[in-house]
Structure 1
Amino acid sequence: MFKLLTFALLFISFFYILDKARCNETVTRDALLKFLAELSNNNSTILGTNSGWNLTSEPCKDNWLGVTCNMKTLSVEKIILDGYDFSSGAFDATTICNVEPIADTFVFLSLENGLLQGKNLDSIGRCKHLTHLFLGGNRFSGSIPQSFLRLNNLKRLDISNNELSGVLPDLSRISGLIEFEAQNNQLSGEIPEFDFSNFVAFNVSFNNFSGLIPPEGDRFPVSSYTNNPLLCGAPLARKCSSLSEDSESDDHDKPKSSFSRDEILMYSGYFLIGLAVILGILLCVYKKRKQKKQKKKESRIEEMKKMATIYHDTTTSMDQSKKGTSNSDISSAVISSNESNTAVSQSLVVLTSPEAYSGLRFENLLKAPAELLGRGKHGSMYKVMCDNPKMTLAVKRIKDWSISGSEFKKRMQKLNQIRHPNVLPAVAFYSSRQEKLLVYEYQNNGSLLQLLQGIQRDQTFHWSSRLSIAAGVADTLAFMHQELQHDRIAHGNLKSSNILLNKNMEPMIGEYGLMSIAEISTTTTTSNSNYVFPIADENVGAIFKQDVYAFGVILLELLTGKVQNNGIELASWVVSVLREEWTVEVFDRTLIQEGASEERMVNLLQVAVKCVNHSPEARPSINQVALMVTTIRDEDDRSIDASASTSTII
């Protein structure tokens, strides 16, 4: 009797769950159809006859156009309907954000360039899980509602090219926001104090913003703020003090004085006489300064020649040893006897935070103690301890790079414009005919290579940390490839020694873009972790696929705990073991002892094997790789959270 009752309860529960799932699917379908009806003004054919948007199909099961679902739970995650003519319709977020089956899983909404008008923009705050909201290129008007502040998970927001007005809500309270595009509107008031250090894109140009640009806002170029007449502060040339004076003078009307013709001629004469005197004084001052500057330049040239001679003997001994505490290699390499005049005439170009590095000079690098950190095929890296200003820097000396000084400068400026929190930015650079130096902030926590080498000395490197680093590097590479694909600038020398760790032990990709296309195509090995990057041709796709191959080797290092001189050797060994179906044999023993999920390690291994495919065309794009690695990381995080919850309950 008891067994019969149990069976009946299970039977009823099964049909209850099944019925609830069907109900959710019906509610989701009806809500989406109503949403489209609002957008298109009941024009059901606007998406085409094969779009799938009808009552006889299901959004997730039948792959509706523009709808992306989680196929495990059959729940809607993304709606992307860009470029359709919705000019006769209106946007009403209530239709989807008030429906639980959608609002609880909905993370991505894009309706760009649809000429939409806003009907109920305030209700967007109910889609609390949204991470991406793209509404650019429409006709939304009025102010942005405070309900936007409830979008705590929002990372990217684009409301550009609309007719929005009024004061922005304090969007800086959304801590995870990394992109904000609001150009070409009529927004006013002050710009919120965003945490610009996290931003990868920011633009509020062509609006009516006023007041001071918030701290660190100068990380973005003038074009991000242009055509806001009342906006002031760096990077704009308009100073806030002068702006307030102009405003004050406009507020107080002064009576106009009337002068006679004789008075005008008299004052004009006085003005011309005064102008002539001032020009004469300025001419004398200019000549004296020019003479003084010439003398100073000649003395500096003589001083630099002496320094080159002093450092020459020390350079020979430094070249014979791996490390040292002399700066001779930098100074003698840059200032040779036959180009000392050229070296002195070139200056150190500061890229990042000019205020913080205003005292940094080329001479400081020459005089400061330096420690050789490593040598490679394309140059050497030094740790330099400057006293004035007091700071520790990492200086990369690049040799035998067939690129002109002007092209080198353009590349450095381009890389300085494309910022990402996990790409180590160059602080400054120096360029002469034969030598090029790059200056970075020194990272005290070392590199991924050192973490991997520490495994051999029984140091701990947990699975979650490895997975987090892998996901961070993949996301960063995806961003850089996207931004620099038209400039044909890949990393070209990606390896574990070039992945540094900041103070929070987060990965920072160093030396991005220091190899030209020709060098990437002809490279067979690089120093330290000498990865080999096989390629078929020099097209843009193949160039960027070198980074995918190198990232695959890094994944193999994280999984195996092995660091070999040749990435091909490691990849070949892993593939050969997998061919014999000894999958577990490739994993680092410490991960297995730690209890890391074998399923997720195998999934990550499959991603790595795809990346190191010998054919560039067969390798996935870095965007696909980043999505796969991030999915594995998120599954691992959810597993950890679930375990923690279970432990708390017990």
Structure 2
Amino acid sequence: MISISISISISLAILLLLNPTASEQDHVKLSLINFLQKLSGNDTGITEKLSWNTSTDPCSGNWTGISCNNKNKSIRGITLEGLLLNGSIDATLACTAPTLAVLSLRDNLLHGQLPLEISSCSQLTHLFLSGNRLSGELPLEISELNNLKRLDISNNNFSGDIPSGLTTISGLVSFLAEDNQFTGSIPVFDFNNFQQFNISNNLFSGRIPPDAAQFGNESFSGNSGLCGLPLAVACAPAASPDVPNKPNESSPSTERTIMYLGYILLGATIFLFFLYKLIQKRKKMKKSEINLGSQNDDVSVPISKNNSNSNENKSNEYSTSSTDSPVISSSLVVLKSPVKRSMKFDDLLKCPAELLGKGKHGNVYKVMAVDGSVLVVRRIKEWMISSEEFHKRMEMINKARHKNVLPLVAFYCSKQEKLVVYEFQLNGSLLNLIHGSQFGRTFDWSSRLNMAAGIAEGMSFVHRELQTHGIGHGNLKSSNIIMNNTMDPCISELGLMTTDQTKPTISTTNNSTTMNNNVFKKDVYDLGIILLELLTGKLVQNNGADLAKWVNSVVREEWTVEVFDKALVAEGASEERMVHLLSDCTQVC
């Protein structure tokens, strides 16, 4: 069998010699074919099985297990997993591909050592060797892989100490070495940068570094010599040299008394500190639960005066007409489908209000009505828009009803400020769902897709119905996407544009209307940022610019999978569908 392998190699070399235009790429192809031969234990049929031959290009010739850079057609990855390869690794041959970044040989039968020549793969970022029969010590040269991000050598027979030089690789975020025979102490990595770490079922000994405790008991179990958190095995106190007692040294009982007094004083201090904080917190809560009207001294409730000499409008100012128009008082406008038809503005002012959030252009309050119903009141300050225009805008928004748009309850307008009233929703916002408490709910890939579809449908409807009126959202973000009682997304604060947003310019050409309005463009961009937030699970800062910049930089490096939320990856969500959605996002962000 060895002679057959040698014959194949010689034949391939002759073919290259007979081709006067042979390039370095031909040399790389021949090296990779020989690399595969050694991995397979000189299986003569493996190259044909995987379609590796010098007559085709690895990037366009369907070489199984080869991935390439789409721009310059250079080899980026070799993935040969679960093929029962029972040979050894020749890193010199593999590293002839100068841009090789991923080498994955998981779940085979490879034996022997990891060669020190692995350091020649200077661009390597992902090295996956788990589930083989590799043995011996890790070469010190592995520490020279300065671009390495993920190293998985679990389920092998490696032994000896972990090279301390691995701790100098600043970009390393994943180290999996469970189920081996490693000995010695745990190297002190920068564990705060790690996403994955597991050394269970080895022969490690000594104290677990404090920062490593975050990875849980399962990452360290099976090492009888380890101690310290998160394991239940306490470390023995460090031995101190014997020091003879000084003549005036305090007796053990005196020392113990002083120590106990110190503990008591420390405990009393901590107790008083927390008591002080509790009192301060209660004072703040009382201040926040203030009457909404008391914060708004410049808002008065105009009283409607009927002309005694006129018979017009003798009905109650809150009565409902038979038309579809809203019910209008001299102050509060209550729309047709709210929770409170008989609500009056002075009643609203008397309700206790809890401050939910502060913003540049106003605050948001949770208001408890007299009958126990709960409302949300959004105060808008310094919006230079006339009362008539504000009324028209709110009525147009009220008519644009959609299941994914939070309906208005009422609104108020004065010269100084404006109020918009919604029904309070118990399930919180999309921001809380992604980053905060989920109340036991699993925010899986299917739920995120449904969320994205609902938001997109709502915004599409808004732009379709209100674009001719120049009404967009202008401030679309995950905190403004509210979950209703069926956990469907509802867009809130629609049309509450800020002062730096301009009116739309409408031009008609060939019976088509063209929008020239930054608000609508911003809505599209903001929707893209929300989709990125759903995909990455990262907080949005700087109006989403930082998130978009980071995602685009990772995508340019062709490590798209790195951007996705770890919860989605662990769930096994469809990478193809996530990449497709990510591609749509990056086109608008």
- The structure richer in helix per residue is 1
TM-score by structure 2 length?
0.46
Structure number with bigger Rg:
2
TM-score (norm 1): 0.42
